Amino acid sequence: MIKTEIITVNPEAIDQAALARAAAVLRRGGLVAFPTETVYGLGAVIYNRDGIKNIFTVKGRPGDNPLIVHIHQCEQVTELAREVPETARILARRFWPGPLTMILPKKEEIPTEVSAGLPTVAIRLPAHPVALELLRQTGLPVAAPSANISGRPSPTRGSHVIADLEGKVDLIIDAGPTGVGVESTVLDLTGPKLRILRPGGVTREMLEAIFGPEMVEAPSQINCRRPLAPGMKYRHYAPQAPLRLLTGDEDQVRRFLQRTAAQAQSAGKRIGIIAYDEDQSPALAVAGVTYLSMGRRANPAEGAERLFHLLRLCDQAGVDEIYAVAPPRQGVGEAVFNRLYKAAGGKVEEIK
């Protein structure tokens, strides 16, 4: 256990002195958890190998899972990438700062711990004002996976980070809730097409509007022995209770949830239900049922912003099992589905 300094920063009135302290911690090789517009990240300067190794140790993260490097200005890409195609420049002009990570061929000086031994580096320029100012004051690229214990739901509030990492890292910046709520889109630019390795806030539809559908590859599942990007190979985002991801006709799913709630009540079980406003009914407002809404089904951005917090609320409620309704797989709903799919261990149950 170490003593973790926790500082609260208002994103609309940034405390420069507080961020200067955090930047100093990073420069000397320490670990700092900080907010981005997607989720909170756990950062270390990429050129400090001990700091990078500590990220893996603190999180319990597998060593073959690469890290995303965060920068504060586009010009830093040439410090990290051996080649920067015109496609990357177009994407940067359109989506940076923002929830997009680009995978490019890396320069030799990038430590192997950052890239997990791969010949590529994952780079993003976050949109959160606190992250940008911290990175600017640090003056060096910072590798930062999500600031949670590996495999757990990602942190979208400072309280989530404190619950997971207090006593394990040097400093935590609490700037309140994040905005997007799911991690960045990871886009592989090393081949002839744009390959989405992880869906996120920059959606397939956005990319196709710029480059055309024929140039965007969005495989539902990529089989590889080594993950090319975070969130590809391992079970992620998992709450403490087992999660069942439900698909099927909406009415059929609602009836299934109502039957399940009644059975849980009679058996004295505690269950969590993660669904939508439209799915709520008096039959689900019974003892033993924790009903949590992802918002309106027609607005998947609401579900993205709420998802990880709802999974953690299920942990706090001590439920025995979680039933999650699959979102429509359009726009950022694809990213929400991806996270629930991972949380369910890659299993989907169709309700008929």
CATH number of 343's domain = 3.40.50.11030
pLDDT score recorded for residue 236: 75
Q: List, for residues 52-61, the tens digit of each pLDDT value.
A: 999 999 999 9
* 273 assigned to some structural domain: yes
Q: Is 148 annotated as a binding residue?
A: no
Tell me: do 132 and 274 sit in the same domain. no
Q: Is 226 annotated as a binding residue?
A: no
What is the domain-level CATH number for residue 125? 3.90.870.10
Tell me: do 179 and 254 sit in the same domain. no
pLDDT score recorded for residue 220: 57
Q: Is 178 annotated as a binding residue?
A: no
Tell me: do 14 and 135 sit in the same domain. yes
243-248 β-sheet, strand order? 289-293, 271-275, 321-325, 243-248, 348-351
Tell me: do 297 and 154 sit in the same domain. no
Q: Is 70 annotated as a binding residue?
A: yes
Q: Is 237 annotated as a binding residue?
A: yes
Q: Which of 183, 217, 251 is the last residue of a domain?
A: 217
Q: Is 184 annotated as a binding residue?
A: yes
| Span of 23-32, 156-165, 220-229, 257-266 with lowest mean pLDDT | 220-229
Q: List, for residues 328-338, the tens digit of each pLDDT value.
A: 999 999 999 99
Tell me: do 70 and 124 sit in the same domain. yes
* 259 assigned to some structural domain: yes
Whole-angstrom distance, CA of residue 300 vs CA of residue 330: 8
- pLDDT bin (cut points 50, 70, 90) of residue 22 is very high
Position 226 pLDDT exceeds 60 = no
* 109 assigned to some structural domain: yes
* 300 assigned to some structural domain: yes
Residues 120 and 230 sit within 8 Å (Cβ to Cβ): no
The first and second tokens of residue 351, run together, are 């309700």
Average pLDDT over the chain, rounded to an integer: 95
| 31, HSE (Cβ side, Cα atoms, 13 Å) | 30
pLDDT score recorded for residue 230: 60
* 224 assigned to some structural domain: no
pTM value?
0.94
Tell me: do 66 and 123 sit in the same domain. yes
Whole-angstrom distance, CA of residue 303 vs CA of residue 183: 13
Tell me: do 85 and 121 sit in the same domain. yes
Position 327 pLDDT exceeds 90 = yes
Tell me: do 206 and 249 sit in the same domain. no
Position 17 pLDDT exceeds 60 = yes
Position 229 pLDDT exceeds 80 = no
Q: List, for residues 309-320, the tens digit of each pLDDT value.
A: 999 999 999 999
Tell me: do 75 and 209 sit in the same domain. yes
* 101 assigned to some structural domain: yes
Least Cα distance to 307 among 130, 160, 128 occurs for 160
Q: Is 296 annotated as a binding residue?
A: no
Residues 84 and 104 sit within 8 Å (Cβ to Cβ): yes
Position 224 pLDDT exceeds 90 = no
Count the domains in the chain.
Answer: 2
Taken in order 143, 144, 149, 152, is the CA torsion positive or negative? negative
* 13 assigned to some structural domain: yes
Q: Is 154 annotated as a binding residue?
A: yes
The first and second tokens of residue 348, run together, are 């989907």
Tell me: do 177 and 103 sit in the same domain. yes
Q: Which of 182, 202, 217 is the last residue of a domain?
A: 217
Least Cα distance to 58 among 198, 154, 170, 137 occurs for 170
* 236 assigned to some structural domain: no
Residue 268 belongs to what domain range?
Answer: 243-351
Position 233 pLDDT exceeds 80 = no
Percentage of residues of the chain with pLDDT beyond 70: 95
Q: Which of 217, 235, 268 is the last residue of a domain?
A: 217
Least Cα distance to 48 among 62, 32, 64 occurs for 32
The first and second tokens of residue 157, run together, are 């509030």
- pLDDT bin (cut points 50, 70, 90) of residue 222 is very low
Tell me: do 167 and 65 sit in the same domain. yes
Q: Is 65 annotated as a binding residue?
A: yes
Which residues of the chain form beta strands (DSSP E)? 5-8, 32-34, 41-45, 68-70, 100-105, 120-124, 142-143, 171-174, 185-188, 194-198, 216-217, 243-248, 271-275, 289-293, 321-325, 348-351
- pLDDT bin (cut points 50, 70, 90) of residue 231 is low
What is the average per-residue pLDDT within 277-294?
Answer: 96
pLDDT score recorded for residue 269: 96
CA dihedral 166, 342, 345, 33 (to 10 degrees): -10
Tell me: do 209 and 66 sit in the same domain. yes
What is the average per-residue pLDDT within 97-105?
Answer: 98
